[in-house]
Amino acid sequence: MKNIINKIKSRKYYSIYILEGKEEYYINIILKYIKKNKKININIIDGKEKCIKNIILETIPIIYKKKIIIVNNSEKIEEFKKKKFLLKKYIKKPSFLVIIFIFKNSTVYKRIKSIKKKNILIIKIKKTYNNQLFNWINNYLNKKKLKITPNANNILQKYIKNNLIKLSKEINNIIFNIKKNTKKINSTIVNKNFKKKIIYNIYELQKFIILKNIFITNKIIINIKYSLSFLISFLFELFIKILLIHKNIKNKNLDIILNINKYMLKDYILAKKKYNLKKTIKNIFFIYNAEIKFKKIKLSEINISKELIYKIIH
């Protein structure tokens, strides 16, 4: 990624960029540096509305020597769906033109990734996994000469998960609001930024479910204002992970198996002690029934939530 950015900064462009992947954060970084060049005319178009031939015909620069076309939803372009499609059929040494195709559908992208040419750069951008987030947050803050406590890091992950665009915006918002002499971000700062008390976040909800504290758990559910569908999804993920720990007798490579950071392991190991295998399986059954009840029976979300938490903890 650094090499690509450095070439863009030095105004050395490929004629064609093919960016594929669902991780929009890194795609946006590449586009941000391209857009910084004020001496180039830049157009952003939607692939579902254009064919490649028209894209090229419409993009001959009039004032500027070079023109960049950013094509969103490139998988919608009809030519890419044809098996015999050849990119070089339409593009022959386009010295004045830079086209950036952005793909979210990898099945279409596979048809053209075999093209090898000096003026084409193909970039496959993989989604960031949950177990990579801890280090990603640390690295992001290190670049800004800041540190973060493990607990604060985990709270950020629980709020936003692996959406790097939202995560970076939230971190930037925290940095903007902290005092100038702050060197380390803690959980109090993170929760204050979310405009919630420490006790009213999803990370604390998990903590008190594991501790089987029904009073505080219900208090969090009332104040946290998440939908029942989110709560069901969250609880299902939690107890599936507890089930996987029960099945892994030797407790080896649990962070990889659970797709979590190693700093969070202690919470799940405690959960294993609090909820035996039989109770864990029962709880998964309770969560499944709550989802059915939510879809078929018209009851208030808060009542279903409270009933579900009661069954899970008792």
pLDDT of residue 198: 46
Average pLDDT rounded to a whole number, residues 134-152? 91
Residue ending a domain, among 124, 157, 182, is 124
- Give the integer Cα–Cα distance in Å for 63 and 39: 10
Tell whether 286 and 230 lie within a shared domain: yes
Q: State which residues form the domain around 308.
A: 202-313
> Residue holding tokens 């023109």?
67
| Lookup: tokens for 149 | 């406590």
10 against 283, higher pLDDT: 283
Examine the domain organization and report whether 6 and 119 are in the same domain: yes
Look up residue 277 and give its two tokens: 């295998």
CB neighbour class for 128 (10 Å; exposed up to 12, middle 13-18, buried from 19): middle
Taking the C-alpha atoms of residue 127 and residue 129, their distance in angstroms, rounded to an integer, is: 6
Question: In this structure, are 256 and 306 located in the same domain?
Answer: yes
Give the tens place of pLDDT for each residue, 144-168.
Answer: 999 999 988 988 887 777 889 889 9
Cross-strand pairs, 184: 147
Lowest mean pLDDT among 78-82, 180-184, 298-302: 78-82
Confidence (pLDDT) at 303: 82
Same domain, 230 and 184: no
Among 124, 149, 168, identify where a domain stops.
124
Burial class of residue 55 (count of CB atoms within 10 Å of its CB; 0-12, 13-18, 19+): buried
CATH number, position 246: 1.20.272
The token duo for 122 is 């193909």
Cβ partners under 8 Å of residue 46, min gap 6: 71, 72, 73, 76
In CATH, what number is assigned to the domain containing residue 118? 3.40.50.300
| pLDDT range class, residue 302, cuts 50, 70, 90 | confident
Looking up residue 134, the CATH number of its domain turns out to be 1.10.8.60
Distance from C-alpha of 166 to C-alpha of 186, rounded to nearest angstrom: 19
CB 111 within 8 A of CB 79: no
| Number of other CB atoms surrounding residue 77 within 10 Å | 22
pTM above 0.95, yes or no: no
Query: Could you read off the pLDDT of 232-245 as tens digits, one per residue?
Result: 888 998 999 888 88
The answer to whether residues 182 and 102 belong to one domain is no
Question: What's the confidence (pLDDT) of residue 197?
Answer: 47
Output the average pLDDT for the chain.
79
- What is the percentage of the chain residues whose pLDDT exceeds 70? 80
pLDDT at 292 over 60: yes
Q: Compute CA distances 53 → 70, 77, 170, whole Å.
A: 15, 11, 41
Q: Are residues 120 and 139 in the same domain?
A: no
Tell me what pLDDT residue 141 has.
93
CB atoms closer than 10 angstroms to residue 97 = 19
227 shares its domain with 290: yes
Is 25 in the same domain as 102?
Answer: yes
Q: Are residues 271 and 189 located together in one domain of the fold?
A: no
Lowest mean pLDDT of 20-34, 47-61, 251-265, name the range.
47-61
pLDDT in tens, 181-215: 888 999 888 877 765 544 567 778 888 899 888 88
With a cut of 80, say whether residue 261 has pLDDT above it: no
SS3 71: strand
Give yes or no: residues 111 and 177 share one domain: no
Residue 268 and residue 174 share a domain: no
Domain boundary residue among 145, 170, 193? Answer: 193
The first and second tokens of residue 130, run together, are: 């949950």
Residues 76 and 152 in one domain: no
Tokens of 159: 């709020």
Domain count, the chain: 3
